[in-house]
Structure 1
Amino acid sequence: MDPNAASDETLVSPAPVPDEPGPSWLIYPLGLAIWGFVAVLLLSTVPPELQPQSVGILLFLLPLAMALMAAFLNLFTRPERSPLVRGVARTLVFACLFPFVAWGEWEARRRRR
């Protein structure tokens, strides 16, 4: 038997399979759409004399909240993460939304008085 000859028993390792791209490419456009909608809703609750201040605050806080949401969404959309990590990340995503919802509700109650 010739040692240089290829045999049928030669093991060929398969080519590595690249990681499948997850839904992370959707996170930023989705986040922009959500926060744009939230910003419009929040600004509609603000009296006209306070709108310049509110716009400045929203322009500062929205990118920060979007970055946090993107990080947390990235955590809980990865299947290799444990269920605990994904659950905590989901909770934190909603925690990012809470201050804006609470502020909008507070403004609505204040206007009713």
Structure 2
Amino acid sequence: MISAGPMFLTMVIKDYLLQQPSLPSPAVRVINATELAPYITDLEGGTWHRSDAQVVMWIGRRPWTWFLMGAIGLAAGLSIFHRVLMLILDRVLRKAESSHSNPKLAKAS
């Protein structure tokens, strides 16, 4: 929504025009909506006007949220990896112990 498309164009033009004391030439101007009507059609999808856009904008205004979500994901991933690795190692060690056990001791007990 912000990196491409009409919102990006609107922000760039607004920033450019706000820096200018006046419009630099007649070639740069704000076009009236009636002049654009033959070229632009509104399909009324409106997906970027619903709650999903509000969530994206909320996260975009808070960069620490991305960091926190990444840190939590990394910690959870490392924890799961550690548990799986320990389970595999435990099974390998038990198998090694059972294959190396002394058959005479097993009969005596």
TM over 0.5: no
TM-score, structure 1 normalization:
0.29
Q: Which has the higher contact order (CA 8 A, sep 6+)?
A: 1
